[in-house]
Amino acid sequence: MQGRKNYQEKLYTNFQLSDRVPEDNFYRKLSSALDFHFLYQATSRYYGTEGQESIDPVVFFKLILVGYLENLGSDRRIINTASMRLDILLFIGYDIDEQLPWHSNTEPDTATIWRGNF
């Protein structure tokens, strides 16, 4: 008898991202080996005190790093890839139900880096 798998989306009430990413995962090892908190002080002069809150500079840097490591050529591809990969979500500090930064919000910051102002 041929079986059929019927997918029915469920609301997960007991899901922990860190349980789903293996301990030997590259991004998990990278996260434990590097401390990115120095970026807060290093970038503070580029942020004002008023207006809309920006993307966390550590998250932004990690996204750019993922783009480099995964050979992703655009901010849109970085965000799309991150949204589908549990290991990258854990690395950047987002949970599966959190909305990632909109790709157009990262583009001005990316342009600033490439101009050498960052």
For the chain, 118 residues long, the average pLDDT of each consecutive 10-residue run is 67 82 97 93 85 86 95 93 96 92 59 50
Contact, 61 vs 118, CB < 8 A?
Answer: no
Q: What is the pLDDT of residue 109?
A: 52
Residue 79, judged by CB atoms within 10 A of its CB (0-12, 13-18, 19+), counts as: buried
Neighbouring C-beta atoms of residue 109, cutoff 10 Å: 20
Report pLDDT for 6: 74
Q: What angle do CA 13, 95, 34 make, to 5 degrees?
A: 140
- The answer to whether 43 touches 57, Cβ cutoff 8 Å, is yes
Q: pTM of the full predicted structure?
A: 0.79
Q: Residue 49: what pLDDT?
A: 83
pLDDT at 103: 59
Domain boundaries, the chain: 55-118
